A and B are shown apart, each in its own frame.
Chain A
């Protein structure tokens, strides 16, 4: 115990203005923690249980705080906060904007970022299901180089991802919406609550595909591949992409069942596993019904005042 009595070296906090400086800092010392909005990192530091050797501030690195249109969609810098996603990206990324609106409070949305959510990789994070449903890709970068990882391959366990200790999340690439998207979040309170479970769905008419994502109902955010394949098959066989005809109730119900089958929920203070499985089925059925109705009516998304 005597070794512990020495005052530990205080945590260094680096404030780089260039990405390469940040990458060098990440490479220089193992366990260096990147910080943007602080909404996760500061909670962990506040409990005193986490004392990393160093932290690297990302908020001064301008290239991380921008989004841009690329051929493949929106390239969203890692430190763009949710408020800006909800406000500036509601047209190209309506689903992600809707998910961003359900994150925490205004104060949290002003600070929290998609890069941070990916870094933390909490199964309750609100943006993961929609990133899954959209087939987003994560850009990772280190002094060793850059790589892109499909978000479906990104999460490896609760709070764990494929990100190497020296890598930073630089951006996430999200295809622009081709059709209606919806995010539904079940929580025990009207606002500012972690999801008991959540579900995202996005229609991709050009690929005749329905993307899905499930939150808070498995150790990691995950899609519901069987539900996706099932509904793609049904839509194709019934030629509904072309006719924009109604989606039969039994298809919606089966879609919900398959979504629920994709979960591996836990019992915790926010809800029982049985509830989560049940609720994912309901949310999947309802959100698919909703986006399909919107697709039939040629609706994309709704405007939001005062964001």
Chain B
């Protein structure tokens, strides 16, 4: 493990403390400026006209009536996009404004700027679009059939990730004493952040534009906005506005380019703010997945092989689908030792809502598949399900699905033991106000317990050169020393602003630290996604602070005239051997601040072999286990979650309170996926784009939660940290579903569990499906 900076006196608010959020006081006063709270003098309001069809040809667009409405200042279509009319953070395939085809319901066709939001909305209604409605491609499996209509010219297969290990790689048959098969499904989950997509674009005197926007990664947005506007990079500036939650839904452009186009056309600031129903179509979702799994094991419960065919519905545009497919493959076997594997992951274009990043990024779906299988296997073997998992658990030195040997702690068995050993909660009745109190006084209520363990890569993979940039300045004034940290790391609620300050305090021994947001002109910090910011931006801040410290110590040596005497910074003082104070830090700094900027790269990763899916594609894996305890009204199919216990290895708890907040929040999002959260799509059209019908857990749905945090340092990571945001979200859906299965005895192969499923009213076909590959779609080449 990397050593701590040498100090003698710990600064309050350093790494390991539950330091308070620097933005907390503003947030509790209602004074924190979210992207929807921005305004400017003489501001216009922008709105978006969207396709009402999942698939249609655009025959004509008539903007004259809209333009004639008093108060309307601009109506723009694809003809008004001066630069590249396409965006996409990985594959550039999504029009800024639709040209001749719309491929999903809600696809932007035109944008309007007007003096007030009501006029803008009315004007959008007056834009006349003549559509020729086309049959939508709505089934991901059918989309792979050779005769399926193509959503894009290159065909519907967006990426195929094959994975071949052991006998499968050698072309030998996969056989085992005991074989279990299952087909599992995960519905389309929404990130459902609270702060709607919004922002303010302000035209500049130089013909450029500044966009204040809520995002997870300014720089990748900047690239795409610059391309759409056809302006020099330096004329487009993106600034982070307050972010009301993200969870992956802010990795792609929403209103970014539209607001800039309108501002540049009108010469006035333009604000755009989505409504909730618009937000549902305005960002990508978690991929619905259909997963056919076959597990082979020995009679004593050792996994021999896994065969799986997994199809993800990518929707109409690529977003981050290719990377999600890679994650599904890499995580497809679970944190288990599996000698032989034959897995095919395919992500497919359809005319359904586009899917992309959401917390867990494919690992959630895979976990539901393999953990459902582990329970099925345990039942088949007559084994305790936790014992079966422990018997097969990976540990440091094991290889996972991509063949990568884990070179950091991987305490999977320990995590499982910890959640198992927690005392069981006692019987509990619904509290007043919980609706199950009206439906049952205990009739038909059965307790169920379920376990799951999951894992996922932290950060970017497959050879992507991932880095973050941080600047640290140490300055004195008025006898005090303060540090200023600058980075473009997006604070989306997770607390990266807090963590950066903690690291600066730790390395520099000063208490007063200010974290300043870098805009798109500052170096990139990479995205606030994939549980990576504490590791990567944390690493950058640490490295920059270390560089500052080294220069300060040199300077102190020079001042003291004793080279090598100054060894550390502590309590605003320079210290030497044995922690002895040599001089005041303020005196060393004088009027001359010390500043360093570091672009910090984590250790490299490597591509997956396109034939076998093997390769050291990941720089760190993270693990968590859950035990869920539920009370199920088996007759009505209503579930009340009583308790969830989580055990997670975090490497180092940089901020224990914020860490718990991540684990609670992630666990509850998983609970939501297990029990209630699903965007229902019929014929490509969303049926429930509102918080009235897309249900996320309320405080009444949240169980007691016990969190057991392990801190087994990763020797490759700054302070030994391990990404924490996603793991609690990965295994909680599987654990909750397992608990409901335990209570009902039903196979329940699909989440979210609907009351009709849990009540046993739906055809829960437990017959063994054909071997996974038999029904698999034809193998095709990747599209160009």
**Within 8 Å CB of A270, what residues of B?**
693
Report yes or no: B638 in contact with A193, Cβ–Cβ below 8 A: no
**Within 8 Å CB of A254, what residues of B?**
none
Q: Is A160 an interface residue (CB 8 A)?
A: no
User: Provided the pairs A186-B638, A190-B640 are in contact, do residues A271 and B756 lie with their beta carbons within 8 angstroms?
Assistant: yes
Closest A-chain residue to B70, C-beta based? A7
Q: Is A272 an interface residue (CB 8 A)?
A: yes
Q: Is B263 an interface residue (CB 8 A)?
A: no
User: Provided the pairs A4-B126, A102-B438, A191-B435 are in contact, do residues A282 and B635 lie with their beta carbons within 8 angstroms?
Assistant: yes
User: Provided the pairs A2-B65, A274-B756 are in contact, do residues A190 and B434 lie with their beta carbons within 8 angstroms?
Assistant: yes
- Per the bound structure, the CA–CA distance linking A70 and B699 in Å amounts to 40
Residue B439 contacts which of A98, A184, A268 (CB distance < 8 angstroms)?
A184
Report yes or no: A5 in contact with B69, Cβ–Cβ below 8 A: yes
**Within 8 Å CB of B754, what residues of A?**
188, 271-272, 275
Report yes or no: B433 in contact with A191, Cβ–Cβ below 8 A: yes
Closest A-chain residue to B124, C-beta based? A48
> Interface code A271-307, partner B: CB below 8 Å = 1, 0 otherwise?
1101100110011001000100000000000001100
B285: min CB distance to chain A, Å: 15
- Per the bound structure, the CA–CA distance linking A8 and B277 in Å amounts to 24
Report yes or no: A193 in contact with B695, Cβ–Cβ below 8 A: yes
B63: min CB distance to chain A, Å: 11
Report yes or no: B695 in contact with A188, Cβ–Cβ below 8 A: yes
Report yes or no: B65 in contact with A185, Cβ–Cβ below 8 A: no
**Within 8 Å CB of A9, what residues of B?**
none
B140: min CB distance to chain A, Å: 20
Q: Is B698 an interface residue (CB 8 A)?
A: yes
Q: Which of B416-456 contact A (CB under 8 A)?
A: 430, 432-436, 438-441, 443
Closest B-chain residue to A2, C-beta based? B65
Report yes or no: A193 in contact with B435, Cβ–Cβ below 8 A: yes
> Interface code A160-190, partner B: CB below 8 Å = 1, 0 otherwise?
0000000000000000000000111111111
Report yes or no: B636 in contact with A282, Cβ–Cβ below 8 A: yes
**Within 8 Å CB of A4, what residues of B?**
65, 126
Q: Which of B603-642 contact A (CB under 8 A)?
A: 635-638, 640
**Within 8 Å CB of A283, what residues of B?**
439, 636
Closest A-chain residue to B436, C-beta based? A190
Report yes or no: B701 in contact with A278, Cβ–Cβ below 8 A: no
**Within 8 Å CB of B404, what residues of A?**
none
**Within 8 Å CB of A101, what residues of B?**
433
Closest B-chain residue to A278, C-beta based? B761
**Within 8 Å CB of A28, what residues of B?**
none
> Interface code B678-717, partner A: CB below 8 Å = 1, 0 otherwise?
0010000001100011010111110000000000000000
- Per the bound structure, the CA–CA distance linking A272 and B436 in Å amounts to 19
Report yes or no: B443 in contact with A286, Cβ–Cβ below 8 A: yes
Tally inter-chain residue pairs, CB-CB below 8 A. Answer: 114
Q: Is B68 an interface residue (CB 8 A)?
A: yes
Residue B68 contacts which of A5, A274, A278 (CB distance < 8 angstroms)?
A5
The B interface, classified by DSSP as helix, strand, loop or mixed, is loop
Report yes or no: A1 in contact with B126, Cβ–Cβ below 8 A: yes
User: Provided the pairs A2-B68, A4-B65 are in contact, do residues A269 and B126 lie with their beta carbons within 8 angstroms?
Assistant: no
Report yes or no: A269 in contact with B756, Cβ–Cβ below 8 A: no
- Per the bound structure, the CA–CA distance linking A269 and B700 in Å amounts to 21
Report yes or no: B701 in contact with A185, Cβ–Cβ below 8 A: no
Q: Is A55 an interface residue (CB 8 A)?
A: no
B536: min CB distance to chain A, Å: 37
**Within 8 Å CB of B308, what residues of A?**
none
Q: Is B121 an interface residue (CB 8 A)?
A: yes
**Within 8 Å CB of A142, what residues of B?**
none
**Within 8 Å CB of A271, what residues of B?**
754-756
Closest B-chain residue to A196, C-beta based? B755
Report yes or no: A190 in contact with B439, Cβ–Cβ below 8 A: no
Closest A-chain residue to B62, C-beta based? A1
Q: Is A118 an interface residue (CB 8 A)?
A: no
Report yes or no: B701 in contact with A272, Cβ–Cβ below 8 A: no
Q: Is B390 an interface residue (CB 8 A)?
A: no
Report yes or no: B676 in contact with A189, Cβ–Cβ below 8 A: yes
- Per the bound structure, the CA–CA distance linking A48 and B122 in Å amounts to 8
A31: min CB distance to chain B, Å: 19
Q: Is B19 an interface residue (CB 8 A)?
A: no
**Within 8 Å CB of B693, what residues of A?**
194, 269-270
Q: Which of B56-87 contact A (CB under 8 A)?
A: 65, 68-71
Q: Which of A30-48 contact B (CB under 8 A)?
A: 46-48
Report yes or no: A192 in contact with B636, Cβ–Cβ below 8 A: no
- Per the bound structure, the CA–CA distance linking A305 and B698 in Å amounts to 21
Q: Is B737 an interface residue (CB 8 A)?
A: no
Report yes or no: A190 in contact with B755, Cβ–Cβ below 8 A: no
Q: Is B25 an interface residue (CB 8 A)?
A: no
Report yes or no: B756 in contact with A275, Cβ–Cβ below 8 A: yes
User: Provided the pairs A5-B126, A271-B754 are in contact, do residues A185 and B438 lie with their beta carbons within 8 angstroms?
Assistant: yes
Report yes or no: A275 in contact with B755, Cβ–Cβ below 8 A: yes
Report yes or no: B680 in contact with A269, Cβ–Cβ below 8 A: yes
- Per the bound structure, the CA–CA distance linking A240 and B754 in Å amounts to 39
- Per the bound structure, the CA–CA distance linking A166 and B555 in Å amounts to 86
- Per the bound structure, the CA–CA distance linking A7 and B440 in Å amounts to 54
**Within 8 Å CB of A272, what residues of B?**
754, 756, 761-762
A100: min CB distance to chain B, Å: 12
B438: min CB distance to chain A, Å: 5
Residue B761 contacts which of A102, A187, A274 (CB distance < 8 angstroms)?
A274
Report yes or no: A189 in contact with B695, Cβ–Cβ below 8 A: yes
Report yes or no: B435 in contact with A185, Cβ–Cβ below 8 A: yes
**Within 8 Å CB of B692, what residues of A?**
194
**Within 8 Å CB of B118, what residues of A?**
48
Report yes or no: B439 in contact with A185, Cβ–Cβ below 8 A: yes
A52: min CB distance to chain B, Å: 15
Report yes or no: B439 in contact with A1, Cβ–Cβ below 8 A: no
A239: min CB distance to chain B, Å: 26
**Within 8 Å CB of B433, what residues of A?**
101, 190-191
User: Provided the pairs A2-B68, A5-B68 are in contact, do residues A190 and B759 lie with their beta carbons within 8 angstroms?
Assistant: no
Closest B-chain residue to A48, C-beta based? B121
Q: Is B675 an interface residue (CB 8 A)?
A: yes
- Per the bound structure, the CA–CA distance linking A182 and B443 in Å amounts to 15
Closest A-chain residue to B118, C-beta based? A48
**Within 8 Å CB of B122, what residues of A?**
8, 48
- Per the bound structure, the CA–CA distance linking A191 and B122 in Å amounts to 35
- Per the bound structure, the CA–CA distance linking A290 and B437 in Å amounts to 12
B637: min CB distance to chain A, Å: 7
- Per the bound structure, the CA–CA distance linking A35 and B754 in Å amounts to 36
Report yes or no: A188 in contact with B675, Cβ–Cβ below 8 A: yes
Closest A-chain residue to B443, C-beta based? A286
Report yes or no: A1 in contact with B759, Cβ–Cβ below 8 A: no
- Per the bound structure, the CA–CA distance linking A86 and B614 in Å amounts to 63
Closest B-chain residue to A1, C-beta based? B65
- Per the bound structure, the CA–CA distance linking A5 and B69 in Å amounts to 5
Inter-chain pairs besides A189-B435, A194-B693, A268-B687, 6 sampled, C-beta below 8 Å: A183-B438, A185-B439, A188-B676, A190-B436, A191-B700, A274-B756
11 A-B contact pairs sorted by A residue (CB < 8 Å): A1-B128, A48-B118, A102-B435, A102-B438, A185-B435, A187-B435, A269-B687, A272-B754, A275-B761, A279-B755, A286-B440
**Nearest 9 A/B pairs, CB to CB:** A190-B700, A275-B756, A191-B700, A190-B701, A1-B65, A269-B688, A190-B434, A5-B68, A184-B438
